[in-house]
Structure formats: C-alpha cells, structure tokens
Chains A and B, each alone.
Chain A
Amino acid sequence: MELINLYLIPGVVLGCIYALGAIGLSLIYGVLRFGHFAHGDVMTFGAYVTLSAVALLGVSPLAALPISILVTALLAVIIDRLFYRPFRDSPTIVVVIASFGVALMLRSLVEIIWGADDQSYETGIRRPITLFDTLVIAPRHIAIVLAAVLLVVVLHIFLTRTRLGKAMRAVSDQPHLARICGIDLDTVSLWTWVFGAGLAAAAGLFLAIDTELNPNMGWNLLLPLFAAAILGGIGKPYGAIAGGLVIGLAEELSSFPLFSERPLVPPDYKTGVAFAIMVVMLLWRPQGLFRGRVYG
C-alpha cells in the first residue's frame, strides 16, 4: 500500500503535470518547428496569474483555472507576435535563442510582479481521504488528475472534430501540402499558442497546488518536459501524454525502497531519472515511442 499511496499516486499526479506541459511543447514543435525553451516559464506565469485571481476574487485555485488559461494564452500570443514571428523565416536556432530570452524575461516579470519568495494558494492542511481503509489520497490529487483528464479530452475533441484542429495536425504532418491546401499558417499558429500556453498554465497551477509557487518552478521542469515530449515522439501531442505519465511515474517510483530500507535512487536525483530516459531514447529511438518526427 505504501507503494501506491506514497509513490504511485504522486507519480500519476506529477505525470499529469508533465503531460500537460509536454503537450504544448510537442504542439509548438509540430506546427512551428522549434523547441520552446520558455515553456516552463509560461507555466510559472500561469501559476502566478492564478495566485492573483485567488487573491482578488476570493475563489479557489481550480475555479480560477479558466482565467489563468485565458490570460496565459493571451500572453503567449503576444510573445509570439513580438519575439517569434519576426524570426519565422530565419534558421531555427534563432527562434530557439529568442525563446531562451523570453524565458529569462518571463521569470523576471514574475519576480517584479509577485516577488521572489515562495508562496502558496492556501494555508493550512487538508486531511487526505482514506478509501477502503488503506488507500490514502489527497483531495487535491484527485482534483488535479480529473482536471488534467478533462483538459486532454477538450484537446482531443479540438484536434479530431474541428476543422482548425485537423488543420493543426495537417500543418504538423506536411507543412508544404498544408500550404497547397490553402491552410493559413497564421491562424493555425495562433491556436497552437492558445492551446500550448493554456495547457501550460494548467500545468503550472496544478504544480503550485501540489507544491508551492516559486519563480523558478517552471524553469526547473523544462528538462522532464522535454524528456516527456521526446519520449512520446516530439511533434505528437498524444505521445506527449504518455511520455509525461511515464516520466512522472519513473521519477517518483525511482525513490521507492525496493531492495533495502533506502530508496533505489535518492530523491534529489529524480530529475536525473528523466534525463537518463531522455538520453537513452535519443540514442535508441530518436523518433520516440510513437514514431514522432526527427528533423534534420
């Protein structure tokens, strides 16, 4: 039971957070063809927007989720206009470096507006729920997983049922043919940012509910997010969901004391597990588990 309560459940929760962040990375890579290094800081921004919404409106963090998604998506669209779109015809590395710059700016913006100290949405301790006498689960964990599933379902409906969502997959698949079909890249990229940043805002909020707010919280997650996106096959949003869950579970389960009293891998080296998985994947199957794209 200790395995489930202390390792498996937190692993699934962390996996959901990684998945939501990695979906955005994957969508952006698929449509705009670059690794978005400011994605972690977009998550941070989303988490802090919720902090303000909670303070101003007196609602719970989860109730503020739609506000956070909208504000963060708007920010991402503005960032794209100002810092990424001017470089669309430049070599990829230029946009990647621009996204590094945006990452630094976003983090500073968060520190200027909200300060550099750790903060949290609510004080006090909520008692976890005990099911079947043995399964101990915190209400916030249930909420995070349910909300993540809901968001993924919304994304799925968008990608498979709407004209624009299908166009987004088409651009990601064959950009040249998409142009021949008359699909407007500007509209598709706008919605890529709305969904990518919106899901990142949710991921940031969930991370902050699970732990606390800190200006570096998103930046620190960049490595596992990329590991998740690569594991799932970069450019494939569905792969990113699986990749996120695998990385999250692997990180949490790696500190389970399997053979002795001591954890398999000391918890401080959790990120190392994600990094190891990413390196192995890049060597063994760079296209990812689900045949993602490898661009030369």
Chain B
Amino acid sequence: MSLLAVEDLRAGYGDTVILHGVDIEVEAGELAVIVGPNGAGKSTLIKAIFGVVSTQGGRVRFGGDDTTGASPERLVARGMAYVPQERNVFPTLTVAENLEMGAFTTRGPLAPLLDAQYALFPELERRRRQLVGEMSGGQRQMVALARALMTKPKLLLLDEPTAGLSPKVMAQVFGYIRAINQAGIGVLMVEQNARLALQIADRGYVLAAGRNRFSGTGADLLANRQMAEAFLGG
C-alpha cells in the first residue's frame, strides 16, 4: 500500500478551482517529483495534501488513513512534514531555535533530534547559535529542511526547494534532498527545474492546467519525446 495516495483531488481558493482531479502516489521511502508549467497547480497540490488549502473533492490517503481535509497539526502528528517555498525559516531566531520550533509539538528530549539533524548537516552544528536571517539562501534551505525533519516524518513535502538559488547552490540542495531520501524518508517535491529533478526522482508526475499529463519513473519521463518537447523545451 502506498504511503501517500491522492485520488481525483480537486482544490482551489474560494470559487477558483485550480486542481481539476489529480491522482498521485508515493511509496514509502520514495523520491517523487511534480513538474509542470507555471500555473499548473503544483504548489496547490502540495498545499492541499498538507491541509493549508481546502479540498473541494477527491481523497487523500496517508499511511492507509483518509486524511482529506485534515489540519496540518494532525498531519504532522501522523508523520508528514512540509517546507513552504517562501518564508520557510524564522530569520530572527538562531539555527538551534529554528530546529526547536520544528519539534514544538513533539514531546520528549530534544537533544537526540537535534543531533540527528546535525549529523545530516554538520554545517548547521557549527552555526547553531547564528541568526538564520544572516545566512545565505542555500544555508537557509538547509535550516528549512532540518526544521521539517525534527518531527521524524515519513513523508517530506517540499515546495520548490531550489527557487531563486544559483545553479551551484541548487546542486547542493538537491544533494541534501537525496541524502534525506537515502535516510529512508519519502519525499514529494514540486520543482521548476524539471530536468534536474527528474534525474534524481524515482517517480515523476507532470501536471498541466490542474490535471495529470504524464507520469512514470524519472528516467521514463526524461526519455519520453512527447513529454520532453512539451515540457522540457525539446
């Protein structure tokens, strides 16, 4: 059974419908990528799964339970975590405080959770007393990822984690995401850089105008000529 199964999901803002019935699946420990042109509804899909955008129809199942319309708090408690595209760190808090806020709802000792993130991102341990507002874009993204991992999620939702980063830093962030995935955590991410993202993906979905267009393994999608012409610029 899939870790996450989205069936015929319809969602939007008020009267505006953005998703007109989308189906996706993510297996446990898998790295899945959603690509597609601007306005395809990629971010809306992630937000609807996480309960920050209200669903208008369809179903979301997570870990075998129906979580359609569940609140972010409940989803976090069940093992989902979400990193928004923007404003995904607390700039006037230190690195350690950002991570601590990530575990706000978790009971029990903080130290092992912090150590786990510092093991994954040694640079954060060196900078743990630094204010995140003073850090570079790539470092902030590291903090944002580590913050989300503090709840020990089974599935990490990422909304355009490389937006606005230089190609070099982008490659670093993709490296972090692979490392997280290799630690056994399922990842579902929305990406603008379709080619790069599909290269590291187990599974890819192409969305256009709020509907599924193509799906398959990352390699299949990259090899699909029709898909490449339409969405990867030939």
- Interface residue ranges, A against B (CB under 8 Å): 163, 166-167, 169-170, 172-174, 176-183
Contact = CB atoms under 8 A, between A and B. Distances in A.
Contact of A181 (B50, B52, B92, B102): B102
Contacts of A169: 90, 92-93, 97
B73 interface: yes
A239 to B, nearest CB: 11
B205 interface: no
A73 B207 CA distance: 53
B104 A177 contact: no
Interface in B79-93: 82, 84, 87-93
Given A180-B76, A183-B104, 16 more contacts: A166-B93, A167-B101, A169-B90, A170-B93, A170-B101, A173-B91, A174-B91, A177-B84, A177-B87, A177-B90, A178-B101, A180-B52, A181-B102, A182-B72, A182-B104, A182-B105
Binding site secondary structure of chain B: loop
Contact of A166 (B88, B91, B100): B100
Nearest to B88: A177
B159 to A, nearest CB: 11
B59 to A, nearest CB: 23
A166 B90 CA distance: 11
Interface of B: 50, 52, 72-73, 76-77, 82, 84, 87-93, 97, 100-102, 104-105, 147
A166 B93 CA distance: 8
Binding site secondary structure of chain A: helix
Contacts of A180: 50, 52, 72, 76, 82, 84
B83 to A, nearest CB: 9
A181 B101 contact: yes
10 contacts: A166-B97, A166-B100, A173-B90, A173-B91, A173-B93, A174-B91, A177-B84, A177-B87, A178-B101, A181-B147
Contacts of A181: 101-102, 104-105, 147
A176 B87 contact: yes
A167 B93 contact: no
B44 to A, nearest CB: 16
Contacts of A163: 100, 104
A169 B82 CA distance: 21
B62 to A, nearest CB: 16
Contact of A173 (B72, B92, B102, B147): B92
